[in-house]
Chains A and B, each alone.
Chain A
Amino acid sequence: MTRSEPLMEAAGVGHIYAGGQVGCEDVSFRLYPGEVLGIVGESGSGKSTLLSCLAGALEPSSGQVKFDVGRQGLRDVFQLSEPERRLLMRTEWGIVRQNPRDGLRMSVSAGGNVGERLMAVGERHYGQIRDQALDWLGRVEIAADRVDHLPRTFSGGMQQRVQIARILVSRPRLVFMDEPTGGLDVSVQARLLDLLRGLVRDLGVAAVVVTHDLAVVRLLSDRLMVMRHGRVVEHGLTDRVLDDPQHPYSQLLVSSVLQA
């Protein structure tokens, strides 16, 4: 049941910004199909820079990011041609942005936002697109009578759920999430996490989740990397890292969380 071929591999990935500021340094890991990897660290730890490198948005200054493109084996994401990369991002990857306004088209209805992504992967039958969009909005708990409304009339939590439906409708194999619950009320966070957890499990998609919220990774991720000053200081099973952290910084991070 465990496939031995990795879905993604990062090998010594580093990025140094112009001016010498280190974004991230020497990050290596393998991600297998269906696995969820959490990345935690405080602001400025390099986790967002790393995510940009992994998601093909920022070319690393050292190391390689490889993905099992089209199930043909690992290929360096930054060596792909521009059309290949765009196809990869549309069909095999999905990116959940922290701010749903960055991931949605605000002038298009909720149903249109979801349907648009299906059209981008070649679906042409209007009725089927509409049915699938309705089905997915239902799965993320958007009421049917809101489907034709613009996302700007939605709450932040609803917008985030529309964004998730928009991404998952095209059945990506890997989803990147940047602070997926950031900026949401606690009750809305719990609902969203529950939803994400179920979707990741039911669909078997792999995910890389970047967050500063340890409760989020506890619930969502199988494995956890702790970052500080651009480097990975600890990496292991999520519950092992959170319950028995080894590195001084991981211990500080875990012990700093307020117990509700």
Chain B
Amino acid sequence: MTAEPMLTVNGLAKTFVLHTQNGVRLPVFANVDFSVAAGQCLALTGPSGAGKSTLLRSLYANYLPSDGQIMVRHRGRMLDLASAEPRQQLEVRRETIGFVSQFLRVIPRIPAEVIVAEAAIAGGASPEDALAAARELLRRLNLPERLWSVPPATFSGGEQQRVNIARGLIRPFPVLLLDEPTASLDPVNRRGAVDLILAAKAAGAAVVAICHDEDVRAEIADMTFDVSSYKAAA
């Protein structure tokens, strides 16, 4: 069976140029090619500093690639996210690509359940449905109910991470980018998160994940991609 590719990366490269440091160039990776189909999970591997997060952020248009294409199936056709206009990139983020970052960027004063629900509202859900779905997810991720109405600024790392996962998975994004989704979770909560990721895959999501935990990686990933072997020449 050959599922259609959801995300295809061609010749992707990233070099940071630090103008405030006399224009020093920091090459991260070059000539990166891979493709992920619906229902597949690709795990990015390599030691710290290999550029896994930089690659993942590039796939979300959060970093600007120096070269190459990021072809994503958006509204039924392949669109190059790397060269798309900001307005199209926003549309892709709204409809096609979800991102679970390593850390929650806390917004002052907003309760955890609302942060999660907002992601569903952005996708067109009614506020009532969104809040119900948010609570259901937080329940499945074992976040204590007394925390739902509290802004997550004071939460522990693991609690914030579950809010982050819930926010990223509340909608059935066709492409999911996960940066260490289970890193700060204990075994019970890790189980809940892994089950949600597997469910997203089963529902047809193409997943690219960074995940140091080998057990989790073995369970969710169908293939691996070692970023350190694509080190760009300085």
Genuine A/B complex: yes
Question: Is B86 engaged at the interface, CB distance under 8 Å to the other chain?
Answer: yes
- Whether A35 lies near B87 (C-beta < 8 A) is yes
* Chain B residues within 8 Å of A243, by CB: 57, 62-63
From 204 to 247 in chain A, residues with beta carbon under 8 angstroms from any chain B beta carbon are 219, 222-223, 235-237, 239-240, 243-244, 246-247
A194: chain B residues within 8 A (beta carbon): 107-110
Q: Is A32 interfacial (CB-CB < 8 Å)? A: yes
Q: Report yes or no: B63 in contact with A244, Cβ–Cβ below 8 A.
A: yes
Q: What are the residues of chain B within 8 A of A236 when measuring CB–CB?
A: 64, 86
Q: B20 touching A237 by the CB < 8 A rule?
A: no
Q: How far is the CB of B180 from chain A (nearest CB, A)?
A: 17
What is the CB-to-nearest-CB distance from A239 to chain B, in angstroms, rounded to a whole number? 5
Query: CB distance B19 to A191 under 8 Å?
Result: no
In the bound complex, CA of A193 to CA of B108 (Å): 9
Closest B residue, CB atoms, query A248: B19
Q: How far is B109's CA from A219's CA once the two chains are assembled, in angstroms?
A: 13
Residue B202 at the chain A interface, CB threshold 8 Å:
no
Q: Is the CB of A239 within 8 A of B109?
A: no
Give the size category of A's interface with B: 20 to 34
Q: Is the CB of A240 within 8 A of B64?
A: yes
What is the interface size of chain B, counting residues whose CB is below 8 A from a CB of the partner?
24
Contacts of A1 in B (CB 8 A): 94-95, 124
Q: Does A251 reach chain B (CB closer than 8 Å)?
A: yes
Contact of B90 among A201, A222, A247, A252 (CB under 8 A): A222
- Contact between B108 and A190 (Cβ–Cβ < 8 Å)? yes
Q: Is the CB of B86 within 8 A of A246?
A: no
- Chain B residues with Cβ below 8 Å from A32 are 87
145-161 of chain B: CB within 8 A of chain A: none
Q: Which residues in chain A, 134-176, are within 8 Å of chain B measured between CB atoms?
A: none
A81 within 8 A of B: no
Q: How many Å lie between the Cα of A35 and that of B19 in the bound state?
A: 31
Identify which of B20, B61, B94, B109 contacts A251 (C-beta below 8 A). Answer: B20
Could you say which residues of chain B place their CB within 8 Å of the CB of A190? 108-109
In addition to A1-B94, A197-B107, A244-B62, 17 A-B residue pairs with Cβ atoms within 8 Å of each other are A2-B87, A190-B108, A191-B108, A194-B108, A219-B107, A222-B90, A236-B64, A237-B62, A240-B64, A243-B62, A243-B63, A244-B63, A246-B64, A247-B19, A251-B19, A252-B19, A255-B20
A–B Cβ pairs within 8 angstroms, 25 of them: A1-B94, A2-B87, A32-B87, A35-B87, A194-B109, A194-B110, A197-B107, A201-B121, A223-B86, A235-B86, A236-B64, A236-B86, A237-B61, A237-B90, A240-B61, A243-B57, A243-B62, A244-B16, A244-B62, A244-B64, A248-B19, A248-B20, A251-B19, A252-B19, A255-B20
